Structure 1
């Protein structure tokens, strides 16, 4: 498994997180396309921000082995990134519509 594949799986996990959040809480939904975009950007932002703590894709596949604990941590952060991005974008939309 390469670092690129891990990055793509992480982005997919962020998309799943945003879409599951939208299904669970209808008030946060932007439609399937909007939720997917929020999941992509939230996942990438969180992984780039917190990945420097040691669970970026290159560290996960270091020495030609996969560190499962770091991979799981990476996927959790990606999932939460998609969820939090969807919430923050909805709040931003509410704030901008007030003015």
Structure 2
């Protein structure tokens, strides 16, 4: 796997997390398109913020070897980033509507 493929998988997991969370909890849903956008930005923000702790794509593929533990952490953080992106977007929308 390359760093680019790991980054794309991370974004995809963020999208899946946001859409899945939106389907389970309808009050947080913005529809498929809105949830997709929230998932992309939430996933990218979380990976860029917390990836400095050592589970960014460059660390996963360090010295041309694949580190499965770091990849698993990356996947979990991406999934949570998509979910939290959707929640934060809903909180912002509620604050702006007041």
TM range (shorter): over 0.9
Q: C-alpha distance in 1, partners of 2:66/2:24?
A: 33
Aligned length: 98
TM-score (norm 1): 0.98
Matched, 1:95 2:92: no
What is the Cα deviation at residue 64 of structure 1? 1.2
Query: Could you list the runs of 5+ residues in structure 1 that have no partner in the other structure?
Result: none
Q: C-alpha distance in 1, partners of 2:91/2:49?
A: 21
Q: C-alpha distance in 1, partners of 2:45/2:64?
A: 26
1:48 equivalent in structure 2? 48
CA root-mean-square deviation: 0.4
Q: C-alpha distance in 1, partners of 2:53/2:19?
A: 27
Residue deviations 1:70-94 (CA, integer Å, cap 9, x gap): 0000000000000001001001101
Matched, 1:25 2:33: no
What is the Cα deviation at residue 63 of structure 1? 1.3
Query: Could you list the runs of 5+ residues in structure 2 that have no partner in the other structure?
Result: none
Q: C-alpha distance in 1, partners of 2:80/2:11?
A: 11
TM-score (norm 2): 0.99
